[in-house]
Structure 1
Amino acid sequence: MILRQLFRALLAVLIAAFLFLFLLLPIYTVVAEGLNPSLIKEVFSNFIYLEGLANSFRIAAVTTFMVFLIALPMAFLYDAYEFPGKSLAHLAAMVPMILPPFVGALGFQQILGHYGVINTLLVSCGFARVDFLGGNGRFWSICFIEALHLYPILYLNLVSSLGNIDPSLREAARNLGAGVWRRFFRISLPLLKSGILAGGSIVLIWSFTELGTPLMFGYSRVTPVQILNGLT
């Protein structure tokens, strides 16, 4: 009995030490270093860092908006209609979560890059190459690829929120003559606020901190890439 108690106490100490060394201590170190007043002053007085922050916020905002445009219609169709292969379509909607976004960036470059498939076809037809990914093209490509990767997060939250709505509310609205879209905007959408907020917050933070996709496109004026360059 005493040995068992000693073993449990030792195990608890080891777990606590592990969590402290590999979870709490790194978090404390990063936060303490990040809240250094001189470092904060340097960040906000450096034009390059400010530009990186602005670009990261732009990518996060545009990506979140694109995710909303993709996920909301999909969730609405899944909840409102019955069709063959519905369960399979629901599973297929989760596929983008399997691969990291930078894999999509590689594929995008193979298609729209300077020596990609489309430019190769243009040259073979006698046309000049088009720099699809130059200038603002890189920004929109990054947002689009991140949106394709992250929309399942918001989609799952919306499907869950739609499933929790009392069907009698929409049935009563239908009996009163409200059409599909009016029922959606007057009943469903206001009740989706919690799902939109939860999923949208995750997407916003994820896209703001995404490193792989901007790195693959050589878009260095974003905060995650600047942090990586500072560490290396």
Structure 2
Amino acid sequence: MILASFLGLVSAFIMARYEFPGKNIFRVLLMIPLLATPFVNAYVIGKVIGPGGLLNYILKDLLHITDYTIIIVGLPAVILVQTLSFFPIVYLNMLSSFINIDPSLEEQAENMGAHGFKLFRTVTLPLALPGLAAGATLVFIFSLEDLGAPIGLSGAFGDGLHNHLMSFYVYEEFRKAMTLEQVHPVTYAVAVLMLGLASVAFLSIKKYVSLKQYAMLAKGGRWSPRVRKPGIKGLIAIYAFIVPLVIIASYPQLGVITLSITDWAISGALPSKLTGEYLAALVTKSDVVQAIKNSLTYASLAIVVIVLTGTSAAYIVARRDIPGRDLIDLLATIPIAIPGIIVAIGYLLFFGTVFSNTTIDPFINPGLLLIFSYSVRRLPFTTRAVFAGLQQTHVSLEEAAETLGASRARTFFTIVVPLLAANVIGGAILSFVYSMNEVSTSVILGSRNPSQGPITFLMSQVIYASAAVGTVSIAAALGVLLMVLQIVAITTSNYILKQRVAFLGV
């Protein structure tokens, strides 16, 4: 969390406050790590930093810079993977916060003698603290529940200290257990501890931020930007930070593409030949095709639930002054702060006990629970998109319809829904693609019945179980498919909503 917050903070400040050649290109490149390729990105990093990896090949064999073998394994490897994966979350939140700061506040501070780092420390950073708090909290929660790093590194290195994480311990216990009775009680205690840590982090940050006032009479942004052109030294410093960051952070995604079209998985430090075998497996290999069908089915059905629930919740929160409105808002938003592992375990315990040996028993038919879990986990994407649309739609339009005799229901379906169509579609697209990428609930629930497992479950099995030599590249091909879906979804939703990428907030 600390490293991700530092990288996100510095890169956001540079992008928000400085104008330099190539800025727009770097702005796009900094978003590449957000293209999730579960498990495979960690495997690629392992292929680079391992004893026989690309890093040692370049430093020892190619450039002869050192005779020592650089080995980054265990917890340092996990920290590296999670930092590169999650720092853009802080970057996006901080970029939004820096852009929205009223420039006059900083100008007044400068008139009173505050310059440089003192200005940043006493005025700029405190005003941007909500963005930092939101991003850092999300990184902490996502890192806490992350299974991609330990499973991916296990595929690259085998078992090691990278497996000694709470998330991996819970996953492994449930993966091996054929019944709930076989799960050790300590596993549930660890799961409760994870939920407690995530809840404390979420609520503590909200409480801390609420203790201070961050509102401004005016906002910055495109109409009154506070942007400067750096000198030669400043330009060198910017490039010295941004260029290596972009290269290192983008490499996992580039490595996934390389892994999917070459024999890198079995060739050593560098690939030796191109092949279309693994991409072809997306349409020729039966278990891969089935996993893709499963994911498409689960995500599509989840979207129906998400749109109905999210639109209703957003409308109630934005338009109806009823008791419990704040609770509805909290329930529609908090799923993003609940580790997916906890959601999966909760479903396993409840449905596996109450509905044992029935159609919805997760040990018999986990598909329905995967739909439920996707609906819960990705609900905030659609809810916040619709809520933003309602804030931009004046209530007088609805009042006029009701004055003319339309009922609330008719007003909602004939006035509100058409006006919010773009927001609903944009939010639904994002919810769909991130349902396809869901990891924690997919690997735990999917392991109950592998034939009903989604894409990410198959990817985890291929990498962690090492079913056959070279099959890691099939997981990479699935990762490329997920990246394409994400690019299409984000581009389409941004076009529909006619706005830039939405910023996550607590």
Which of the five TM-score ranges fits, normalised by the shorter chain? 0.7 to 0.9
Measured in 2, the distance between the counterparts of 1:134 and 1:85 equals: 36
- Identity among equivalent pairs (%): 19
Measured in 2, the distance between the counterparts of 1:18 and 1:80 equals: 44
Residues 161 and 192, structure 1, Cα contact 8 Å, conserved in 2 = yes
Aligned residue type for 1:151: L
Q: 1:11 to 1:166 in 2, by over 3 A?
A: closer
Equivalent residue, structure 2, for 1:86: 325
**1:112 aligned to which of 323, 341, 351:** 351
Give the alignment of 1:52-71 within 5 angstroms: 52-71=291-310
Q: 1:179 to 1:160 in 2, by over 3 A?
A: same
1:46 maps to 2:272: no
1:133 maps to 2:133: no
Equivalent residue, structure 2, for 1:16: 243
Residues 34 and 40, structure 1, Cα contact 8 Å, conserved in 2 = yes
Measured in 1, the distance between the counterparts of 2:320 and 2:374 equals: 28
Q: Deviations over 1:60-104 (max 9, x none)?
A: 101111111221221222233112453454234322221122211
Question: What is the TM-score of this pair, normalised by structure 1?
Answer: 0.82
Equivalent residue, structure 2, for 1:73: 312
1:230 maps to 2:462: yes
Residues 101 and 146, structure 1, Cα contact 8 Å, conserved in 2 = no
Aligned residue type for 1:162: L
1:26 maps to 2:252: yes
Question: What is the TM-score of this pair, normalised by structure 2?
Answer: 0.40
Residues 100 and 149, structure 1, Cα contact 8 Å, conserved in 2 = no
Measured in 2, the distance between the counterparts of 1:171 and 1:209 equals: 41
Aligned residue type for 1:188: V
Instruction: Tell me by how many angstroms 1:5 deviates.
Output: 3.8
Residues 302 and 374, structure 2, Cα contact 8 Å, conserved in 1 = yes
Measured in 1, the distance between the counterparts of 2:456 and 2:349 equals: 24
Measured in 2, the distance between the counterparts of 1:199 and 1:22 equals: 27
Gaps of 5+ in 1: 120-128
Q: Deviations over 1:171-215 (max 9, x none)?
A: 221121111111111111011112112211111011111121121
Q: 1:10 to 1:170 in 2, by over 3 A?
A: closer
**3-state secondary structure, aligned to 1:82:** coil
Equivalent residue, structure 2, for 1:125: none
Residues 153 and 199, structure 1, Cα contact 8 Å, conserved in 2 = yes
**3-state secondary structure, aligned to 1:94:** helix
Residues 382 and 427, structure 2, Cα contact 8 Å, conserved in 1 = yes
Measured in 1, the distance between the counterparts of 2:315 and 2:233 equals: 56
Gaps of 5+ in 2: 1-230, 262-274, 465-506
Measured in 1, the distance between the counterparts of 2:285 and 2:417 equals: 42
Residues 158 and 196, structure 1, Cα contact 8 Å, conserved in 2 = yes
1:98 maps to 2:300: no
1:173 maps to 2:401: yes
Equivalent residue, structure 2, for 1:123: none
Residues 299 and 374, structure 2, Cα contact 8 Å, conserved in 1 = no
Aligned length: 215
Instruction: Tell me by how many angstroms 1:109 deviates.
Output: 1.4
**Structure 1 segments (4+ residues) deviating >4 Å:** none
Q: 1:160 to 1:167 in 2, by over 3 A?
A: same
Instruction: Tell me by how many angstroms 1:33 deviates.
Output: 4.0
Q: Which moved more, 1:159-168 or 1:178-187?
A: 159-168
Aligned residue type for 1:214: S
Instruction: Tell me by how many angstroms 1:8 deviates.
Output: 4.5
Instruction: Tell me by how many angstroms 1:49 deviates.
Output: 0.7
Measured in 2, the distance between the counterparts of 1:7 and 1:69 equals: 51
Measured in 1, the distance between the counterparts of 2:238 and 2:392 equals: 42
Give the alignment of 1:166-205 within 5 angstroms: 166-205=394-433
Residues 291 and 454, structure 2, Cα contact 8 Å, conserved in 1 = yes
Measured in 1, the distance between the counterparts of 2:248 and 2:316 equals: 47
1:148 maps to 2:376: yes
Instruction: Tell me by how many angstroms 1:7 deviates.
Output: 6.0
Instruction: Tell me by how many angstroms 1:57 deviates.
Output: 0.4
Q: Which moved more, 1:30-39 or 1:148-157?
A: 30-39
Q: 1:6 to 1:61 in 2, by over 3 A?
A: same
Aligned residue type for 2:422: S
Specify which structure has the bigger relative contact order, considering alpha-carbon pairs within 8 angstroms and separated by 6 or more residues: 1
Q: Deviations over 1:121-179 (max 9, x none)?
A: xxxxxxxx5342244x3101111122122212211111111221122322221121111
